[in-house]
Structure 1
Amino acid sequence: MTCNALPPMLLTISTVHLLGLLYLFYIHHCQKSLPKLDEQIKKQLWDVRNELKKCEAGPPQDLKGAKQFLIKILIRFNDKIKSLSLGEMIIKENLFVQLRSEFKKWNDGLNDTKMSFDSSKELSQNYRGRELPGFSNYRIFEMILQDRVAKLKEPAIESLNSIKDIILKQFTDVSHQCFRNYPVLLNTTMNKIDNIQSSQQAKTEQRIMDQFEMESMIYTQDPIYLKFLNEISGEKFSEAQLPVLDIKSKYSEMLQAYYEIVVQRMADQLPMLISFYMLKETAELLCTDMLSILEGANVSELLFEDSDLSKRRKDLQTRLARLTAAHEELNDFI
């Protein structure tokens, strides 16, 4: 049908009326399309929210929220360090299994030093001083034992260094687990760990040297000494024989008995010293020092993120904001 064949009434419709009809047609089309568009936006919102759940929650954009977030992750870090120091948490390797292994090496090394002393006759010949026959020089016994004990210093420090490295690795693993997305905070934490550990290592080493100084005094309770002497010699010495227990034929056994006491003391004392200062006290000092970060902290700097994860999270958050706004606008027309 040509335009000339149209009814006269239609030919007289003004442009305004035609636009009105087109507008009504457009509105009708939109009303039919909007629900479908709304469903598409809802699906995209669902997908974006699910993707965001896979990303770790990042710091809020506002200062107050960011500071609360910083406090939260610092507390979580401290909780993990405390749990680690108590043996209640395993990161990659069990810390206390590793420590026991090192302490066993120390104990095995001590047992290897329990070689027999010279025979009593050799001791009398090799270490006799200016005393007359039949007399004993107690200073000689002290020197023999002190020399044997002093040789334990080097392996003791080696044990300290090995255990320090184990604990440092565990603390480092916790730091990366908690702060891997925040390089400034991670670097700050690692500096604190290094400083505290260096200080604690020097302190522990001094305590170990103090322990060796005490061991050089050559002392134990009489009943304890007699118990070991009886076990080693196979005889029965009692406190009733004191203080004149001076049997030259038993000098070698007497030295062995006392050294056995030293070994048992050091087998426990060194692990206790190292565990206390390098693990327990270090963990406590670190937790306290971490909270000091909050004093005058540049929160935005500490929580600066430089990772693909943070970039993806920000992109998803931007998409979520746009889709949410579009969904709200669309609801006004449905």
Structure 2
Amino acid sequence: MDKPQSKPEEQQNMNNASLSFKGFARRVDHVPKQDSNELHSLPAPLGAFDVPLPPDYSYQVASCEPELSDRKPQHEQEVSKKLNDREEDKDKAAEHSLYNQYEEKIRPCIDLLNSLRTLGIGKDLMLPAIAVIGDQSSGKTSILEALSGVALPRGNGIVTRCPLELKLKKITTPQEWKGVIHYRNMEIQLQNASEVEKAIRKAQDIVAGTSGNISEELISLKIWSPHVPDLTLIDLPGIARVAMGNQPQDIGQQIKILLKKFTGCKETINLVVLPCNVDIATTEVLKMAQEVDPTGERTLGILTKPDLVDKGTEETILKIMRNEVIPLRKGYMIVKCRGQQDIYNELSLASAIQQERQFFEIHKHFSILLDENKATIPHLANKLTNELVGHIIKTLPTIENQIHDALQQSMQELQKYTEGTPKTDSEKVIFLAGLIKVFNEDISQTIYGKESLFGNEVRLFTKIRREFQIWEAMLLEISAKVQEVIHNRVCKYEDQYRGREFPGFVSYWTFEDLLKEQIAKLEKPAIVVLNKVICLVEEKFLEFANKHFANFHNLNKAAKARIGCIREKQATTAKKRIQTQFKMERIMYCQDNIYTDDFKAANAASCISKDAKRKQLSFGPVSSQGPSFVQKIVSHTKAYFTGASKRLSNQIPLIILSTVLHDFGDYLQISMLQLLQGKEDLNHLLQEDHEVANHRKLLISQIDHLNKAYQYLVDFKSL
């Protein structure tokens, strides 16, 4: 028995597709077997992008069958029918298998990305996306219309004036079309596709104004439909070169900056739209894509308007498609969308897709591109879906690390805030007591140099000790200078003021006046040290007030007022004590044994110095040392000043520590506890700052979202 005559391949494929309730955007009898572990090679189902059969193809298929039936015997027709039924069953089984793979592998990736965006993760972290860029009139809008199934704003000049995030969500259950547009704090529900264009224009006018300006502010349009792919696309303004109307003169530069902001992100796939009737090597948009993606690993080229190619130049287009002109890692696709005349003729998007397939099927040069799945909008949808899924998987480790870091940062920031104010008075008293308790604990720990530190922080006591070390170094420096000053003053006395005294006699009063004069010079530096230390203490205490009372403005203000008041009081007290110390120093007293020991040490040091200089000057008298009585009085002066320096080196820091650290801290703790006595002030003190309360709520919400996002990633990795 002869086999029934087979139908042409393309007619058979179209017939198979028409029998499928969820066909794919490729001829199913040519779909190779897929490795279950291979993700990028999975074909997107037509469920991701339904394409109806062209009416003329359906007519041809129907008109051929009666002719075949007339030529065959009855039993051959029955056998043929059985064979066709088997082929259809195989096709349906293949489609079902591929659909299951799509649902198991591709759908979770897309859902993960959508879930992260829904949680608002994309506001702080860059999520994988597809940015669509092109020159004006390159066909960019037509591609987006074909993918989304909705009409977008068209016109002359810059039509897209804000980044438009186009979220396409395929719904598998029979359901009506639904859309939502978000911008600023507005959310507008769209009931049918015809409302989209007007809604986008209105949104752009609100966000960017009505004068043709552009804005970086994002407008988000989400579409649920059985006839769209699972994709998120970002439509960006077309590259403009000349300002029109009231547009700023640097509008072209503004657009380039905006484009680079989106296309420069490593998480973004750049979809570069290039008309076939221009030399792609000279297009500015491709040059821009090469700047942000020099290796071309994130760039996919889309050739448009193949019907406008000049005859004889088709081979050039094929070379581009074969990646032989300007190579891109992701290669090129070619599509034919609605032209301006088609729009005037009100050609529907569905009909345009039908005509697109017919164009490539019958084209002498480009039909091979259809066979290679590099042509038509359905194959583009398939390509973009797989590219996006691959990009998602590639960037998952980075996304996970970013979410983890953001979660840790948010939790650390939340620790700075206490819980909200309780409702009842008794609870408020306990709550306020708790706030003051932890504040006072920090003050107490700081006084004794035990406060907790984070990162590279330095303890307050360490900072204060540095100031005291500067004070000690200052005393040593002045002590060394005193010897020279006393030597010169004694010599001057000998030359100018000695009267009846015999040589070698110096009045004790002169010696005392000289020492008092040098010690008095130390009083001002001591006050400087005091002021520096009290500023450090005040700064630390104010830091604790901000730490514990940041979200209670009135309580924080009350604490800071007490800190300021006590600070002034203790600064005055410390200054008086330092002045008293220097007043005592003017008495000029030292225990005999202590002074004698210091004098012996000073005299020995003077002899050693004299011997050293004598060795250096082996000729002539050592006249620079002056008379022996001068050296003796210098030794006496050094001895007393050494003892006074030791005393002041410790005494001034002790006065400062006692007055402006310990007493300051103790008085402040007592003053803060006194706030608990005024119950009538509870509501005032615990009135929470509005901005702080909102920020705390925002942090809690952000942490919740980040935790959910992290769990999404964990669940996805376990699939």
- Residue 663 of structure 2: which of 255, 260, 281 is its match? 281
Give the distance between the partners of 2:637 and 2:527, measured in 1 at CA: 25
Distance apart, 1:139 and its partner CA: 1.1
* 1:56 paired to 2:418: yes
* 1:112 paired to 2:477: yes
* Equivalent residue pairs, number: 257
- Residue 687 of structure 2: which of 304, 312, 315 is its match? 304
Contact 2:542 2:560 in 1 (8 A): yes
Residue aligned with 1:305, SS: coil
* 1:152 paired to 2:534: no
The gaps in structure 1 that reach 5 residues or longer are 1-50, 236-246, 318-334
Q: CA deviation digits over 1:173-207, x for unaligned, max 9?
A: 11111111111000000010000010000000000
**Partner of 2:652 in structure 1?**
270
Residue aligned with 1:113, SS: helix
Distance apart, 1:248 and its partner CA: 6.4
Give 4+ residue runs of structure 1 displaced > 4 Å after superposition: 126-131, 312-317
Distance apart, 1:154 and its partner CA: 1.2
Contact 1:120 1:249 in 2 (8 A): no
Distance apart, 1:121 and its partner CA: 6.0
- Residue 167 of structure 1: which of 516, 522, 537 is its match? 537
The TM-score normalised by the length of structure 1 is: 0.71
Residue aligned with 2:689, SS: coil
Superposed, 1:145-224 pairs within 5 Å as 145-224=515-594
Give the distance between the partners of 2:496 and 2:431, measured in 1 at CA: 71
- Residue 643 of structure 2: which of 261, 269, 273 is its match? 261
Residue aligned with 2:487, SS: coil
Q: What RMSD in Å do the two structures reach over aligned CA positions?
A: 2.7
Q: Which amino acid aligns with 2:693?
A: S
Distance apart, 1:58 and its partner CA: 2.0
Pick which of 146-155 and 59-68 moved more: 59-68
Provide closer, same or farther for how the CA distance between residues 102 and 126 of structure 1 changes in structure 2, counting only shifts above 3 A: farther
Q: CA deviation digits over 1:205-237, x for unaligned, max 9?
A: 0000000000011111011111111111119xx
Q: Which amino acid aligns with 1:75?
A: K
Provide closer, same or farther for how the CA distance between residues 248 and 312 of structure 1 changes in structure 2, counting only shifts above 3 A: closer
Residue aligned with 1:218, SS: coil
Contact 1:121 1:249 in 2 (8 A): no
* 1:73 paired to 2:470: no
The TM-score normalised by the length of structure 2 is: 0.34
Give the distance between the partners of 1:121 and 1:209, measured in 2 at CA: 28
Provide closer, same or farther for how the CA distance between residues 176 and 127 of structure 1 changes in structure 2, counting only shifts above 3 A: farther
Q: Which amino acid aligns with 1:158?
A: V
Give the distance between the partners of 1:226 and 1:124, measured in 2 at CA: 25
- Residue 458 of structure 2: which of 89, 93, 99 is its match? 93
Give the distance between the partners of 1:130 and 1:285, measured in 2 at CA: 59
Give the distance between the partners of 2:592 and 2:496, measured in 1 at CA: 25
Give the distance between the partners of 2:639 and 2:546, measured in 1 at CA: 50
Give the distance between the partners of 2:663 and 2:580, measured in 1 at CA: 18
Q: CA deviation digits over 1:104-126, x for unaligned, max 9?
A: 11111111101213169616515
- Residue 125 of structure 1: which of 465, 487, 494 is its match? 494
Provide closer, same or farther for how the CA distance between residues 214 and 310 of structure 1 changes in structure 2, counting only shifts above 3 A: same
Kindly indicate which of the two structures has a greater share of residues assigned to helix.
1
Give the distance between the partners of 1:127 and 1:202, measured in 2 at CA: 43
Contact 1:70 1:303 in 2 (8 A): yes
The gaps in structure 2 that reach 5 residues or longer are 1-410, 606-628, 702-719
Residue aligned with 1:118, SS: helix
Give the distance between the partners of 1:121 and 1:81, measured in 2 at CA: 52
Q: Which amino acid aligns with 2:656?
A: I
Look at both structures and tell me which one has the larger radius of gyration over its CA atoms. Answer: 2
Residue aligned with 1:88, SS: coil
